[in-house]
């Protein structure tokens, strides 16, 4: 439903938090194309930003995605820069920091074995009943991400065009989500990517992750700025906006890069003046 995304003019206002202590980013379609590595230009901008503020990347994806998309492309960053980077896979139910020359998991709030078993059983059975259990797939349909079970209709690595063709309106995904949710009342079944559904404990979204980030860093939400491509009410970044965090809406990483070209010098000037 990309064509239906309407950004209200107010979303483009320069954020009030002109000198945030921390800038948090969504990953897919904000820092990089979906499931793709950072462009070298964006990697360089992130390193420059890390020179002035703490930076967080928060996504529904798991740490392997962060490694491929972000970490592996920040080879030129100093240890001091990496130590200011906060990684929150699976909406902040996991948290990684760079300490002693390595990426270290600080915490992981995983589902119990019983929760995982029920989530996997229900989503597969419901998908089969609805006729959505495909045989031509690109990688596994079901994935245990520790704190999250993910159903990807065409597999984890399906080409974007195939995914779009499978469910152009999002109707299949929404039907599956509702049917699975009805059978998993104690868990939360949420729309993930274009053909994916995520199952977590209740109340896990990017707002949850941002609150955890404030708790872990001691930086108040009021001193943070969030940048995302899906801040519309149906988007997976919207809970951060609803939480009251200052947000900046972008359409793709080029938009984010243009914004950072403006923001970084402002932050550098503010740091020099203080
Ligand atoms: Mg996104």
* 106-118 tens-digit pLDDT: 999 899 999 999 9
Per-residue pLDDT for 11 more than 80?
Answer: no
- Domain ranges, residue 263: 20-93+204-273
Check the annotation: does 222 bind a ligand.
Answer: no
Check the annotation: does 8 bind a ligand.
Answer: no
Residue 23 near residue 223, CB atoms below 8 Å: no
Q: Residue 107: beta bridge partners?
A: 95
For the chain, the C-alpha Rg in angstroms (whole number) is 19
Q: Determine the distance separating the centroid of ligand 1 and the alpha carbon of 15, expressed in angstroms.
A: 19
CA angle 172–176–179, rounded 5-degree value? 140
> Is 28 a catalytic site residue?
yes
Looking at the fold, whether 194 and 233 belong to one and the same domain comes out as no
Q: Is 160 left (phi over 0), alpha (psi -120 to 50) or beta?
A: alpha
Q: Determine the distance separating the centroid of ligand 1 and the alpha carbon of 257, expressed in angstroms.
A: 15
Single residue among 201, 228, 263 that ends a domain in this structure: 201
Check the annotation: does 194 bind a ligand.
Answer: no
How many whole angstroms separate alpha carbon 86 and alpha carbon 96?
A: 6
Looking at 28, 29, 167, 237, which residue is catalytic? Answer: 28
> Is 26 a catalytic site residue?
yes
Check the annotation: does 145 bind a ligand.
Answer: yes
pLDDT band for position 265 (cuts 50, 70, 90)? very high
Looking at the fold, whether 38 and 86 belong to one and the same domain comes out as yes
Q: Determine the distance separating the centroid of ligand 1 and the alpha carbon of 272, expressed in angstroms.
A: 33
Q: Is residue 88 part of a domain?
A: yes
Task: Encode pLDDT of 35-59 as tens digits.
Answer: 899 999 999 999 999 999 999 999 9
Q: Is residue 11 part of a domain?
A: no
Contacts (Cβ under 8 Å, ≥6 apart) of 173: 153, 167, 191, 194, 195, 196, 197
Q: Where are the alpha helices (DSSP H) in the chain?
A: 40-50, 63-69, 79-82, 113-130, 160-166, 171-183, 206-217, 238-242, 253-273
């Amino acid at each position: 439903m990309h064509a239906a995304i309407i950004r209200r003019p107010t979303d483009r206002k320069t954020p009030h938090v002109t000198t945030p202590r921390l800038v948090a980013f969504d990953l897919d379609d904000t820092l990089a194309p979906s499931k793709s590595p950072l462009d070298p230009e964006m990697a360089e901008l992130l390193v420059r930003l890390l020179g002035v503020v703490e930076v967080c990347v928060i996504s529904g994806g798991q740490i392997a995605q962060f490694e491929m998309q972000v970490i592996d492309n920040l080879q030129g960053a100093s240890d001091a820069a990496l130590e200011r980077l906060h990684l929150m896979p699976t909406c902040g139910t996991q948290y990684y920091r760079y300490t002693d020359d390595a990426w270290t998991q600080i915490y992981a709030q995983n589902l119990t074995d019983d929760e995982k078993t029920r989530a996997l059983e229900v989503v597969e059975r419901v998908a089969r009943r609805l006729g959505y259990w495909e045989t031509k797939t690109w990688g596994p349909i079901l994935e245990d991400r520790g704190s999250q079970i993910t159903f990807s209709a065409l597999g984890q690595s399906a080409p974007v065009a195939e995914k779009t063709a499978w469910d152009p309106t999002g109707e299949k995904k929404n039907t599956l989500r509702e049917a699975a949710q009805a059978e998993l009342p104690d868990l939360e079944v949420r729309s993930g990517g274009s053909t994916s559904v995520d199952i977590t404990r209740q109340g896990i979204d990017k707002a949850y992750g941002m609150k955890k980030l404030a708790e872990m860093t001691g930086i108040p939400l009021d001193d943070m700025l969030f940048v995302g491509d899906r801040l519309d009410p149906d988007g997976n970044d919207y809970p951060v906006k609803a939480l009251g965090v200052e947000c900046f809406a972008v359409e793709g990483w080029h938009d984010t890069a243009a914004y950072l070209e403006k923001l970084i010098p402002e932050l550098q000037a503010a740091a020099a003046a203080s």
